[in-house]
Structure 1
Amino acid sequence: MTKRKTVDPAPYAARLQARLAELRTRLEGIEHDLDETPNPDAEERATEREGDEVLESLGAAGLGEIRAIEAALDRIEEGEFGVCVACGGAIAAGRLDAVPHAPRCAKCA
């Protein structure tokens, strides 16, 4: 059995933790904004609703990224960070530099 060459996860763990904290703070703000009492004026309420739809989309995207980051942190704990979940090969450091929570190598992505 050959040993896979993987990257040092420590610098990525710090980046992932920082991004996770940033996303959680952002989502708390979005939830707060969405919970505000609607404006009684119908025209203003329509404009607010359009803004709410944008906030909901941003929130959904943020939740997806949070899940991906948490999965990457789990892979770090399991000693599998930098290993493609599809083929088992190494994920290039350049790919992880760009997307630290990437679960797949460029070939499998």
Structure 2
Amino acid sequence: MSTPISDTFELQLRARQRELQARLQAQRGGARSRADVAADKRERADEDGMNRNEAFDLGTELGEREAAELLAIERALQRIADGSYGLCLQCGVRIPTARLHAQPTAERCVGCQASAE
């Protein structure tokens, strides 16, 4: 599906991908190791009076959510590349453009998504 609409979604997905990658890199302290970043987070949590495990868990959860979104973006970009973007992976029906605008990484039509959940 190399159409103007898929090109639009590709630009949108790539912009979000760059944003998430930059955010993850900043959360991890750039080129620093994950262990160093984790130690700094725990130290800051102690200084701020937060429970160190709560602060670490929050940072880890945010990173996992962003990593999951990056994976969904990668899959959507692959579907654009192979021409299947915008088609429901389950039933093959075209996903409405309005749904793709709301959720550009959508893999299923609304009906199939509801069944999957």
Q: TM-score range with shorter-chain normalisation?
A: 0.7 to 0.9
- Residues 58, 105 of structure 1: CA spacing in aligned structure 2 closer, same or farther, 3 A cutoff? same
1:46-70 per-residue CA deviation (whole Å, 9 max, x = no partner) reads: 5343222111001000011100000
The residue aligned with 1:30 is: 27
Correspondence for 2:5 among 8, 13, 22: 8
Amino acid at match of 1:19: R
More helix, by proportion: 2
Equivalent pair of 1:7/1:93 in contact (CA under 8 Å) = no
> Where does structure 1 lack aligned partners over 5 or more consecutive residues?
1-5
Q: After the TM superposition, which parts of structure 1 deviate over 4 Å for at least 4 consecutive aligned residues?
A: 40-46
Instruction: Tell me the CA shift for residue 30 of structure 1.
Output: 1.8
Distance change >3 Å, CA 85–CA 7, structure 1 → 2: farther
Count of equivalent residues: 104
Distance of aligned partners of 1:35 and 1:28 in 2 relative to their CA distance in 1, 3 Å threshold = farther
Greater length-normalized contact order (CA 8 Å, ≥ 6 residues apart):
1
Which aligned pairs between 1:46-85 and structure 2 lie closer than 5 A? 47-85=51-89
Q: 2:103 aligns with which of 95, 99, 103?
A: 99
TM-score by length of 2: 0.77
- How far does residue 28 in structure 1 lie from its aligned partner after superposition? 1.0
Change (3 A) 1:80 1:7: farther
| C-alpha distance in structure 2 between counterparts of 1:67 and 1:40, whole Å | 30
Structure 2 gap ranges (5+): 30-36
Relative to structure 1, the CA distance from residue 59 to residue 45 in structure 2 (aligned partners, 3 Å threshold; closer, same or farther) is same
Render the CA deviation track for 1:1-38: whole Å, top value 9, x for unaligned: xxxxx882011000000000011111112222535274
Secondary structure of 2:79's partner?
A: helix
2:45 and 2:67 mapped to 1: Cα distance?
32
Instruction: Work out the percentage of aligned pairs sharing the same amino acid.
Output: 33
